[in-house]
Structure 1
């Protein structure tokens, strides 16, 4: 059994193994002999190279339907679409996990040093956070987009766990937003927004270079956390129905036509208003499942998204509506 190499030595060996394997078509046995190690160690080095971003594997096929779907979405909505091939027979939970895995790898390519990165929370972002590769950056800040507290919990443990994974992946400074997801009274939010400690977080959000979020939908088979986590009561649901809401971004609700300003619950929400979100240069939306079609279509039409990661079935449904 090989002794564990020092961290820098392991990185150097992983790079060497990757160059030999992917660039020179050497076998693992040949690489093992050259590096003076075992075949199993070479396998681990290659896995380490992929996980740390030394190697970025892409599969491109002119016959792949995903490419056609990406082109159709780009032409119609003027966004970069990343379609994840997922068989229609898989469960919604597995579908979400596969989309999240692709989104995590893609998102890491967008993150760079000295960026302010806004991250929402929810079922989808929790899944994405589990698959983030390591990418060391400098001077990067990850800021929470919306509060997570409700009458049952402060939400700090949950939201900070998601945020921490992003911070650990990119070596970034974290900026939490320790406020409720929804205030009981709009006047309370207005007063809180005048506090210096809150304004500091809002100022960080105002400097975002990159934002990552999903779309909430009350009809999804994998329910959005805001709809099942004790954040809304019966009166809230009635209000959303009366206001014809079909989804939300970071707990800010919108209708099928993309309008949101006069949705009553938004006066109590803590997520960034959609005008502010549209000012972020790159806005990455991760969404899985055909039940998200209506909310995705509205978000795209409203110009909330610059990049979308979605499963093949959802992409097909989206282009069918064109």
Structure 2
């Protein structure tokens, strides 16, 4: 049981990460602050807390449930900027609660102010993350922007809206909604919608992003995406399989090496373009579970993400067959 004096596993994970970077890898505090996108004062406080809690002695000791070695191995193997590995409790466990908690802690620690955050609209994991994320006392973001169409079936529309509005509320930012579907019926309709003032505004804001927070999907749409009406059809799925696609970020599909695949429905998507996404400085991908290993690997190989938040079993699978 976690009490007021007992830090959460996610906070312990952050203590261990900072301590290892400083004591074992010899990085200076300003370097650590830059790499983890936090203030130098916070790095100093975390190092002191690590010593107070006996995390730092003559060596760095990882508490149970903290996977610093896996995180460092993922960074090295896939050329990531950072990695967070959550302990989800073993095979067969629902990984969403652990990933959500890890994501909330990571954002709480690394959002410093002035960020323009792009967020994918249809992720149950990201929705759970904002549900458990604490509110910041000061504004740490300028805007929270939907980077793929956020309109869908009325019964699930509120999920996409809440995800964006709640993250904006927590970070003191202005929410910017994409008032259209992610996948429309024709290229002509996409072109017409793109000229609408509200849609044009959100598309222009994609060029200002400093951080993208995205889920990583497989060819099998998630229940939330399917219910939204933005999922691909069975015919689209068959074509993607023929093209060698393994996963997607914001409805942009890629193969096992992370190369974009050109599906027939690409010109019907209202969402951030692949090159535009990969130009964002920090691209946080949140995903886990056995079914998503190939998709996560492709997303990392193709630089769709450069920060990964996943679970321990998935991390081991990614390192077993990189």
TM superposition score category, shorter chain reference: 0.7 to 0.9
* C-alpha displacement of 1:186: 1.6
* C-alpha displacement of 1:139: 6.3
Residue aligning to 2:218: 217
Work out which of the residue numbers 87, 96, 102 in structure 2 matches 1:85: 87
Equivalent residues in 2 for 1:1-322 (5 A)? 62=61, 66-79=67-80, 80-89=82-91, 91-92=93-94, 95-121=95-121, 122-135=123-136, 136-137=138-139, 140-150=142-152, 152-153=153-154, 156-218=157-219, 223=222, 225-227=224-226, 229-231=228-230, 232-260=232-260, 262-322=262-322
* C-alpha displacement of 1:134: 1.1
Q: Which secondary structure does the structure 1 equivalent of 2:134 belong to?
A: coil
* C-alpha displacement of 1:89: 4.2
Residue aligning to 1:35: none
* C-alpha displacement of 1:297: 0.5
Q: Answer whether contact 1:278 1:304 (CA < 8 A) is retained.
A: yes
* C-alpha displacement of 1:86: 2.4
Task: Between 126-135 and 253-262, report the one with greater CA deviation.
Answer: 253-262
Q: Answer whether contact 2:184 2:269 (CA < 8 A) is retained.
A: yes
Q: Which secondary structure does the structure 1 equivalent of 2:286 belong to?
A: strand
1:245-291 deviations in Å (ceiling 9; x for gaps): 22111222222222225222222112211110011111111112121
* C-alpha displacement of 1:225: 3.0
Q: Which secondary structure does the structure 2 equivalent of 1:248 belong to?
A: strand
Tell me how far apart the structure 2 counterparts of residues 69 and 165 of structure 1 sit (CA, whole Å): 31
Q: Which secondary structure does the structure 1 equivalent of 2:162 belong to?
A: helix
Gaps of 5+ in 2: 7-41
Tell me how far apart the structure 1 counterparts of residues 273 and 219 of structure 2 sit (CA, whole Å): 20
The 3 A distance-change label for structure 1 pair 139 and 82 is closer
Tell me how far apart the structure 2 counterparts of residues 73 and 301 of structure 1 sit (CA, whole Å): 11
Q: How many residues align?
A: 267
Q: Which secondary structure does the structure 2 equivalent of 1:163 belong to?
A: helix
Q: Which secondary structure does the structure 1 equivalent of 2:61 belong to?
A: coil
The 3 A distance-change label for structure 1 pair 209 and 63 is closer
The 3 A distance-change label for structure 1 pair 158 and 86 is closer
The 3 A distance-change label for structure 1 pair 191 and 267 is same
CA RMSD of aligned residues (A): 2.7
Bigger radius of gyration among the two: 1
Tell me how far apart the structure 2 counterparts of residues 195 and 181 of structure 1 sit (CA, whole Å): 15
